[in-house]
Amino acid sequence: MKTKIIFILNFFALILFQSCEILEVEAYDSIAGEEVLTSKKGLDGSLIGAYNSLQSGSIATDAIVFADLAADNLIARGSKLEYREVSENSIQASNAYVTSLWNASYRGINLVNYIIEGISSVKGISEAEKNNYLAQCHFLRAFHYFNLVRYFGNIPKRVKPISDASPETLSIPVSPQSEIYSLIISDLQIAEQYLVGRGNSVYANQGAAKALLAKVYLYQKDWAKAVQKADEVIAMGYTLEMSNYASIFNESFNNQEIIFQIDFANSQDATNLMNDWLTPVGRFEVAVWKNLSRTQTLATDFESGDLRKNSTVKYYVGSKGDDWYCAKYTDNVKNKDNIIILRLAEMYLIKAEASNEINYIANGEAFTALNKIRNRAGLANLSSTTITNQAEFRLAIEKERNLELAFEGNRLFDLRRTDRINQVLPDIGTLKEAGWYFPIPQSEIDTNDGI
């Protein structure tokens, strides 16, 4: 019982801490805390707080890094024991970084649940404005649950805000993944209905809702809907960056390829540790190798002339030891790298993969979509003379996704959803026994009687 009380106090401390961040928004200077969701200013501040929650290091760094670190793109090389557990696929339920990912995600969910439940009390907004606020909240909730279900599998489904410490509130049994995905899809459909256009890529917009839906449908193997949503995004006017691949990662809001990203450039306080963790100018906690013995690397997977290589991996020789490292995150001065969550290139890859699953057609739409990405990388078209059947196309897509989207938070999930994970990843640690899902944190097990 003592453990439970400690957890409850910590949980509400986190909520109060986040609330303090919200109340520091300028519009809140003269509004009392209990009045937050009774005015448009309070609503705006609450929504800003929900977006600020994405800047958590657990979400903007670890949730991205873990997907490559637990797979075959990165290995731990520094002093972080928590990262070593992930790298060696032997994650303990007490792992502090995994626990923080869990807590940060549910904290973000709790923030938007408060808005969704309390928005009816807000005065002075139109029905259209209300629907827009709700749509953004539903998108953010879907985003958090998509992270959670991919990492942890069956998880508690919380759709009401936590406002007390009663066992009935805290103790929620896990729901099967199918129910979580149903909630995610429902949330994104609401977002898609009420959001409009492309807007600013650091806020939820209709393009982001459609793009995340396309990705979710791909994970669910709903191939037709994945193609449909990818096509809808492609038709919205986003464009591939053709002249300079590296510019995709330079924090330019004018980049027409980015659909949704976590913003750090406009925040005075929040920083992003991606460059510090992943590169030799910082702590260099992880390196780009396929296995712990450093005998294979992602760098050798790039074809000769691939324009993406130098913007994805580079080799370091120096006092910190010779190693390949990730080159996509470059701000080593202010640590303000934005984190790209969705971009147009992935929509073409989703269309290619799903089209092939619907029906392999020699030199059909799947080839056209795949070659869009290859051509941008300076590579020649693939055709039915080089990829002769559906199975070969699957492997080509797997490779292309990894080269295009490396270090953007996809690899572990791509291998698991395509049933390739046991063939590709080394049989070490304990993740394989758990179906390649992370363990639910011990703190949740100790405090949630439903688990």
Instruction: Tell me the pLDDT tens digit for each residue of 255-284.
Output: 899 999 999 875 557 888 899 999 999 999
Q: Is residue 363 classed exposed, middle or buried when 0-12, 13-18 and 19+ CB atoms within 10 A define those classes?
A: middle
Which one, of 45, 187, 14, 204, lies nearest residue 118 by Cα?
45
In the 8-state DSSP scheme, what is residue 176?
Answer: P
Question: Does the pLDDT at position 13 exceed 90?
Answer: no
Q: How far is CA 446 from CA 8, 36, 58, 177, in A?
A: 11, 32, 21, 22
pLDDT of residue 267: 54
Averaged pLDDT, 298-309: 98
Give the pair of three-digit tokens for residue 378.
């300076």
Which one, of 235, 146, 141, lies nearest residue 190 by Cα?
141
* Domain 2-267+339-426 is found in CATH 1.25.40.390: yes
Least confident of 137-151, 328-342, 408-422: 328-342
Phi-psi domain of 87 (left: phi exceeds 0; alpha: psi -120 through 50; beta: other): alpha
Tell me whether strands 258-262 and 323-326 are parallel, antiparallel or unpaired. Answer: unpaired
The whole model's pTM is what? 0.92
Q: What is the pLDDT of residues 155-166, one digit of tens each?
A: 999 999 987 767
Kindly state the helix (H) or strand (E) to which residue 400 belongs, with its residue range: helix 390-405
| CA–CA separation, 116 and 47 (whole Å) | 10
| CA–CA separation, 107 and 232 (whole Å) | 32
Helical axes 127-152 vs 177-194, angle rounded to 10°: 150
Tell me whether strands 174-175 and 313-316 are parallel, antiparallel or unpaired. Answer: unpaired
The answer to whether 8 and 16 are in contact (CB under 8 A) is no
pLDDT of residue 253: 53
HSE-CB of 179 using CA atoms within 13 angstroms: 10
118 confidence band (pLDDT: 50, 70, 90): very high
To the nearest whole number, what is the mean pLDDT of the chain? Answer: 90
pLDDT of residue 266: 56
The answer to whether 54 and 142 are in contact (CB under 8 A) is no
Q: Is residue 29 classed exposed, middle or buried when 0-12, 13-18 and 19+ CB atoms within 10 A define those classes?
A: exposed
Residues 6+ apart with CB under 8 A from 38: 121, 122, 123
Which one, of 252, 50, 264, 237, lies nearest residue 137 by Cα?
50
